[in-house]
Structures are given as structure tokens and as C-alpha cells.
Chain A
Amino acid sequence: MKSLLHNNPLKIAGVCIGLFLLLYLSYASLVFGVIDTSWQTAIDAYTHFNGSNEHIVIKEVRVPRVLNALAVGASLGIAGALLQSLTRNPVADVELFGLNAGAALFVVFAVTFVGISSLTAFTWISFLGAAVSGLVVYLLGSLGRDGLTPVKLTLAGAAITALAASARHGMLVLNEKALDEVLFWLSGSVGGRKLEFLEAVFPYMVAAWAGAFLLARPIQTLLMGDDVAKGLGQRTLLVKVMTGVVIVLLSGSSVAVAGPIGFVGLVTPHLARYLVGLNTRWVFLYSGILGSAILLAADIAARFIAKPAEVPIGAMTALVGIPFFIYVARKGLEKK
């Protein structure tokens, strides 16, 4: 299949258009909302801060929100692309893989029983949660002679998600105070989060993005199959482990910032592959850009659908992503 953007100049032009789109969406996200402001007010908030409501909204609410959506969206998009390449499975996603549920469980456990509230601890705990659940799902999904199959992976993910969710429920029933603290976070949102969360995990995110691009070429080789990759002299296990680490960093830091948000990572790699074909480097780059764009757009939409209440963005992306998941499940699995 020939991709839409089939030569390098076109792809670079695509990236530029994508970046413009991101800029525009960021602008829209800054300006529109329950309190409509203007671009001028947004700039004034930083240059001539006067303590008015609009300025405070922009500085304290809108800007963190845009930055969160950009960083988390890109991370989720790239994580999805990595997962789908690593498992050679068109329906892989951090949510379906139980990574979100695992991270959420660990965080709730830490809040209820250990009483942890420091940001760094929070981050590391969600990394750990994502890593543990991801590893378990991966191992469960790859049991057996035919190796990783989408069905086994999906079922393993569903089981781990259910287990984590019920354990989480149990803890929250025992400790109602924790419920209030984490319930909002559990619903997944890029709004209402202070910038400190993002600041705490941003270095990991950047490292993971860089890692993804460094791994792009080995992963391309790996996509031809383990045997071929080994034959070409690749240390496949190392590549897989590294990919796993990058995925965990991306999803763990996303969860720490925004709570569980699913399906961004499911959709973006498909769109990216449609646009730029199978070159993993381009796919990762486009997945990142598209992930940011989707999350920003979803966040803006979430404000308006049920104004003045806000739909949790995790629910939004799930509701948009599920039809896509079903489409892929109907179409994509026949070939295997």
C-alpha cells in the first residue's frame, strides 16, 4: 500500500502542517472555555499581569492544561506506536494493556496505605505500577506456542485491568478520605493539574521520546520478525527490554500527570501509518504530533459538550477510541 505522504519533502511538509495544527489548537485551548478570552489577554497575562480573573485563569488553568495535553498526548501517541510495533499487534494500547490500571492501583495503594503525597514518589510509584502490570500482561499474552496473539493480549489486559480495578475499589471502600483525593485523578483529565506534576515527569518524558527515536531503527528490523532480526545480528532481547522501558516511562509519566487516558495510543499509530507508511521513525514522529493534537482537541471538546460541566477526557477518548478499536478488530485481524 502506498502511503499518503510518500516522499521526504511531503513528509516534512506534513510535520510542518501538524505543528501549525498544534499551534492553532493550543491557541484555541488557551482562549476558549467557560470564560472566553482573547489572544491579547493571553499575552498580557504574562507581559502585563494585572490580577484580573481572565489573567489568573490563563496563567493558572489554561496554560498548564495546554502543556499537559501536549506532553501527555505526544507520550501516549508514541507509547501506542511502540507497543503496536513491539507486540506486532494492531490493537495494542496502554489502556488495553492494563498499564493505566496498574499505575492507578499502585498510586491508590500508596495514597491509602503508605500515605505518600510527594510528587517524586507519586511518579516513581506510577512507573512501577505500569511496569509491573505491563510485564505481567506481556508475559501472559506471549505464553504458548503461537506467541503473542491479539486475543491473548487483550484478554490478559482485561484480566489485569479487572483485578487492579477491584483491588482499587476495595481499598477505596476501606478508606473514604482517599476516595475524594484520587477519584478526580482516576477519571483522567489534563485540566486541574498544577504544572508541578508535569515538571516532575518532564525529564523522563523527554528522555523516553529521545529513546523512542533512537530505538526506531532497531525496531524497524525487529518488525521483520525475531528470526530475521537475530540473523542480522541484532540483540533482540535487549531491544525489546529497552522498548519496554521506554513504554513504561511514557505511560507511567502520562498517568502521573493526567490519570488514566486510553485509546489515544491506539488511534494515532494507525493514522500515522496511513499517512507516512511503515518507516518507524516517521511513524513515531507523526504519532507524537497526532497524539498531542488529538488530546488537545478532545480536551477542548470536553469543555463544550456539557457546558458548564466537563467530561473527563479519559471517558472522551475512550468513547471516540472504541469505535476505532472495533473497526480495527473487525478489519485488521483477518490477515493474521
Chain B
Amino acid sequence: MKSYLPLRNKKGSFSFHIHKKTLLYAAVCLLLTGAVTVVSLGMGEMNISPLNVLKAFLGMGEEQDALIVMQFRLPRVVIALLVGAALGAAGAILQGIVRNPLAAPDILGVTGGAAVAAVAFLLYFESASIQWLPPFAFLGATLTTFILYALAWKKGVTPLRLVLIGVGIKIAASAVITVLILFSPFVLQNKATLWLTGSIYGVDWNDVKMIGPWVVGLIALAALLARRVNVQQLGDEVATSVGSLVQFDRFALLIICAALTGAAVSVGGEISFVALLAPHIAKMLVGPSFGGALPVSALVGSLILLIADLIARTAFSPIDIPVGVFTSAVGAPFFIYLLYKNRNR
């Protein structure tokens, strides 16, 4: 059995092949995500059986179930999926270009930059429509990426310098946030603090509309650039010698990564370690080729966040623990394991 499924038109102007294993794992992830979605929709203060959830979905269930599922729980689940996908994809891109398995937007300070912008927005543009939050967060993430890149630039950017300076920027961002919160009116401080921990509590369909297009569009764009990421993974010398515009591509990809991070941060706050975990799991499943790793990583990210949010919502009910606490509790030990595993790199 061939391991690739070729897709070509007769003239040969279009040719593409899909790794069968990737397809299989993507399908499995999709199914799992679907199943967890249904379970998650059913669980909470009022338990609804999966069958009734499906019925409510198809518009055949009881009115009350439909209300709970469609209006209260579904937006949150969809947001978990979107934010998870954005983080997973952002992590995959970053690990591809930095060539360091330990890189993630939250560790490099990109999330921190987005959070600074978002906190500033929450605290100082109180009256402005919340619709402006994602552009703000995106702006913050992009600006941080620029700064990170500029500071790490010294005849090109090496992954090592990028990581070190990223850690510095992350700490600077959290200092700025402390100062911002301190100078804000007292009533808003709690809001900002809670938002910062990473929580998707109390989202509605407007949030979905707000970030949905961003996330889907950016992941599609990243998928189009997959080949360039693959070349980057070979190292700067090889990439240059096969004709890749190494620094330009790296920069473009970083911007996409920043945009994805910004979208995720604007709704979810600082949810750490999903962007680190997802690409690793994806690569374990389908190998390092970016064309496969990107979608699977996005799916895995969705799945992780969905499960984490389900636990955060139900485990200590009625208290809604910020989902970021759970992702860190799982993610940080994994990060430590990665440090151990990569000790000789």
C-alpha cells in the first residue's frame, strides 16, 4: 500500500499529495473532538444526555435543552475549539521556524505582548466596543513580535537568541501589566486579573463571530505556506541554498503566528502551554512535515482546550476555575520533560 494519496489534474498543472497516515489521524482527532464536544455540551449544572444534545442540535429536542445547549454552552465550546486551534497552529508555526522544540508564543512573550495591549484596552478604553479587542490584541502581538525580532536581529536571527530575548520580553510584559493594573480604577482591576489567568468563562456568540474568521483564515494562510516552513526546518544554510528567502519567510510566518496568538488572547487571555503541547503531540502522531503537522496540531489544540475547559467548568463546580490553570498544570511538567528529552541538543 502506498503511503500517499496523490491528487492531480490531467494536465499536471496541479499536484498535491496527502499522507494517508495524516489523513487517518486527522479524522480520528476530528471524531474525538466531535465526541468530546457532545459530552461537554451535555455536562454542567444541568446534565443532558448526549442523545438529547444531538437532538437539540438537529432542532428536534426539547425547548429547554435546546436553549441550554445552543445559547449557553455551545458558544463556549466553539470558543474553546477556536482558541485551541489558534494556539495549536501558532505553536506549530513557531516551533517550525525557531527550530526549537521548546518554543511557544507564551514562552517567547508574544502572548504577553498581546495581553499588554488587551489589558490596556480593557482598562483605558472601557467605553469602546469590545469588538475592538481582537485587533488590539493582534496589534500587541505583532508589535511584540517586531520588537522581539528587531532585538534578536544581529546579521539575521538565530533561534537561540530569539528564545533568550523572548523570555526577557515575557517578563517585561508581565511587569508592564502589573503597572497598568495598578494605575487603573479599582472596579476594573478584578476583571483584568481574571481575564489574564486565561479563562473562557462567559463568552457568547459575539465572541465567536469576532475571532472565528480570523482563526480560520489565518490557519488556511499558514497551510498555504507549509512548504516554506518545511524548508526552514532544515536549517538556515540548507534553506538558503535551495532558494528560500529565509529571513523574509521567517518574518511572514512570525506575523501569522502573532495574529493567531492575538486572536486567542483577545478572548481567552493568557492560556499557557497549549501552544507548546499541541505541536508535539501532532508531530508524534504524523511526523514533522508541516503540511500534516499544522492541521493536526490545530485539532489537538482544540481538543486539549476543550477537555481542559470541561474539567475547569465541572471539577470544582460551582467555582469556575480558569482554564489556564489546568493547561499549565499539564503543560509545565510536559515542558520539563521536553527539557529533559532535549538535553543533548
Q: Are the C-beta atoms of A330 and B154 separated by less than 8 Å?
A: yes
Residue of B nearest to A331 (CB): B154
- Tell me the complex Cα distance, A241–B325, Å: 33
Q: Are the C-beta atoms of A318 and B175 separated by less than 8 Å?
A: yes
Residue of A nearest to B106 (CB): A162
The answer to the question of A269 belonging to the interface, with a C-beta cut-off of 8 Å to chain B, is no
Q: Are the C-beta atoms of A312 and B319 separated by less than 8 Å?
A: no
Q: Which of A142-150, A197-205, A272-280 lies at the interface?
A: A142-150
Q: Are the C-beta atoms of B164 and A329 separated by less than 8 Å?
A: yes
| Binary contact readout B272-299 vs A (1 if CB under 8 angstroms, 0 otherwise) | 1100000000000000000000000000
Q: Of B152, B178, B331, which is within 8 A of A315 by CB?
A: B178
Q: Are the C-beta atoms of B179 and A315 separated by less than 8 Å?
A: yes
Q: Are the C-beta atoms of A170 and B321 separated by less than 8 Å?
A: yes
**A334 shortest CB reach to chain B, Å:** 9
Q: Are the C-beta atoms of A150 and B175 separated by less than 8 Å?
A: no
Q: Are the C-beta atoms of A95 and B161 separated by less than 8 Å?
A: no
The answer to the question of A12 belonging to the interface, with a C-beta cut-off of 8 Å to chain B, is no
The answer to the question of A262 belonging to the interface, with a C-beta cut-off of 8 Å to chain B, is yes
Contacts of B345 in A (CB 8 A): 144
Residue of B nearest to A327 (CB): B151
- Tell me the complex Cα distance, A150–B183, Å: 35
Q: Are the C-beta atoms of A326 and B168 separated by less than 8 Å?
A: yes
Contacts of A311 in B (CB 8 A): 179, 182
The answer to the question of B167 belonging to the interface, with a C-beta cut-off of 8 Å to chain A, is yes
A162-B272, A166-B272, A166-B332 as given contacts; A262 in contact with B171, CB under 8 Å: yes
Interface of B is mostly: helix
Number of interface residues of B (CB under 8 A): 46
Q: Are the C-beta atoms of A158 and B107 separated by less than 8 Å?
A: yes
Residue of B nearest to A317 (CB): B175
* Most chain B CB within a 10 A radius of its CB, from A165, A166, A306: A166
**B58 shortest CB reach to chain A, Å:** 37
Interface of A is mostly: helix
The answer to the question of A333 belonging to the interface, with a C-beta cut-off of 8 Å to chain B, is yes
- Tell me the complex Cα distance, A329–B165, Å: 7
Q: Are the C-beta atoms of A154 and B164 separated by less than 8 Å?
A: yes
Additional A-B contact list (12), CB under 8 Å, known A146-B344, A156-B336: A95-B171, A143-B340, A145-B344, A155-B102, A156-B339, A159-B335, A162-B328, A312-B182, A314-B175, A314-B178, A325-B171, A333-B160
- Tell me the complex Cα distance, A329–B179, Å: 25
The answer to the question of B318 belonging to the interface, with a C-beta cut-off of 8 Å to chain A, is no
Contacts of A157 in B (CB 8 A): 167
Q: Are the C-beta atoms of B171 and A163 separated by less than 8 Å?
A: no
**A116 shortest CB reach to chain B, Å:** 22
* Most chain A CB within a 10 A radius of its CB, from B154, B175, B182, B183: B175
The answer to the question of B343 belonging to the interface, with a C-beta cut-off of 8 Å to chain A, is yes
Residue of A nearest to B178 (CB): A315
Listed A/B pairs (20) with beta-carbon separation below 8 Å? A144-B344, A152-B339, A156-B336, A158-B107, A159-B335, A162-B106, A162-B332, A163-B329, A163-B336, A166-B272, A166-B328, A166-B329, A169-B325, A173-B325, A311-B179, A315-B182, A325-B168, A329-B164, A333-B160, A333-B161
A140-B339, A306-B183 as given contacts; A319 in contact with B172, CB under 8 Å: yes
Q: Are the C-beta atoms of A173 and B197 separated by less than 8 Å?
A: yes
| Binary contact readout B162-204 vs A (1 if CB under 8 angstroms, 0 otherwise) | 0111011111101110110011000000000000010000000
